[in-house]
């Protein structure tokens, strides 16, 4: 997805996942895996709605999924040190802070990463923003009147031409034009006939 900003000519691309998070979690897996466990391996699984990073080697006892952004550790300090030198990873203790920061600043507000760990492994999951693309795209292209109509239908399930005219304080012809435009954008659909006509949000 991309968007136009008022202070720029070019479009700004909005990624499905934060690029820094993907890079950092991949390199972290290499730096912090338990290499003494030769029977296991790093696994990255890409699903339609998430990416999972599985790594052999659990968290040290003093570090938990809850305090991982406050503490730091390195299972393989030589690998970590050299990876930091060539800019493959952040300085120790900074990576998770930047991952969380990237998620919080992402325009589509993705869910924060999920961390599951036991004594032998750690699984980190980051979540796609794909389902929010369409919602954000609609938000960017609609007029204030049209947004008001969509919000009304979300709260009340349906709207008629008459209700729309009262909602917007416009004539019946104007409300019909707004509803027709939303219908042409495949945001709402028309139900019923004649005086029984009403509009609902289109199922996606």
Q: What's the pLDDT score for residue 5?
A: 45
Inter-CA distances, 41 with 25, 52, 57, 120, Å: 15, 14, 10, 12
pLDDT at site 23: 92
Query: What global pTM score does this model have?
Result: 0.61
The pLDDT tens digits for 32-41 are: 888 888 888 9
User: In this structure, are 150 and 194 located in the same domain?
Assistant: yes
Q: What is the pLDDT of residues 162-186, one digit of tens each?
A: 999 999 999 999 999 999 999 988 8
Question: Within a domain: residue 39?
Answer: yes
Last residue of a domain, one of 90, 106, 129: 129
Q: Is the pLDDT of residue 201 over 80?
A: yes
From 129, 153, 169, the end of a domain falls on 129
Give yes or no: residues 37 and 91 share one domain: yes
Is 136 part of a structural domain of the chain? no
Instruction: Give just the sign of the alpha carbon dihedral 132, 135, 141, 145.
Output: negative
Assigned domain for 137 exists: no
Tokens representing 124 are 């980190």
Residues in the chain: 204
Whether residue 135 is contained in a domain is answered as no
Question: What distance in Å separates the CA atoms of residue 116 and residue 131, rounded to the nearest whole number?
Answer: 24
The domain in which residue 160 lies consists of 142-201
β-bridge pairing 198-201 and 50-56: unpaired
| Chosen domain end from 129, 152, 186 | 129
d(Cα 130, Cα 123) in Å, to the nearest integer? 22
């Amino acid at each position: 997805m991309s968007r136009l900003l008022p202070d720029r000519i070019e479009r700004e691309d909005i990624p499905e996942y934060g690029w820094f998070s993907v890079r950092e979690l991949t390199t972290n897996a290499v730096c912090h895996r338990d290499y003494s466990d030769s029977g296991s391996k790093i696994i990255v699984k890409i699903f339609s709605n998430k990416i999972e990073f599985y790594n052999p080697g659990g968290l040290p006892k003093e570090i938990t999924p809850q305090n991982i952004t406050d503490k730091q550790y390195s299972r393989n300090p030589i690998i970590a040190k050299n990876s930091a030198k060539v800019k493959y990873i952040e300085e120790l203790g900074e990576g998770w802070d930047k991952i969380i920061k990237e998620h919080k600043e992402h325009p589509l507000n993705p869910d924060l990463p999920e961390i599951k760990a036991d004594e032998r492994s750690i699984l980190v999951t980051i979540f796609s923003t794909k389902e929010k693309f369409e919602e954000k795209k609609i938000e960017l292209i609609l007029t204030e009147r049209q947004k008001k109509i969509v919000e009304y239908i979300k709260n009340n399930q349906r709207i008629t031409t008459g209700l729309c005219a009262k909602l917007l304080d416009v004539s019946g012809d104007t409300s019909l034009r707004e509803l027709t435009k939303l219908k042409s954008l495949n945001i709402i659909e028309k139900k019923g006939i004649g005086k029984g006509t009403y509009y609902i949000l289109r199922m996606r």
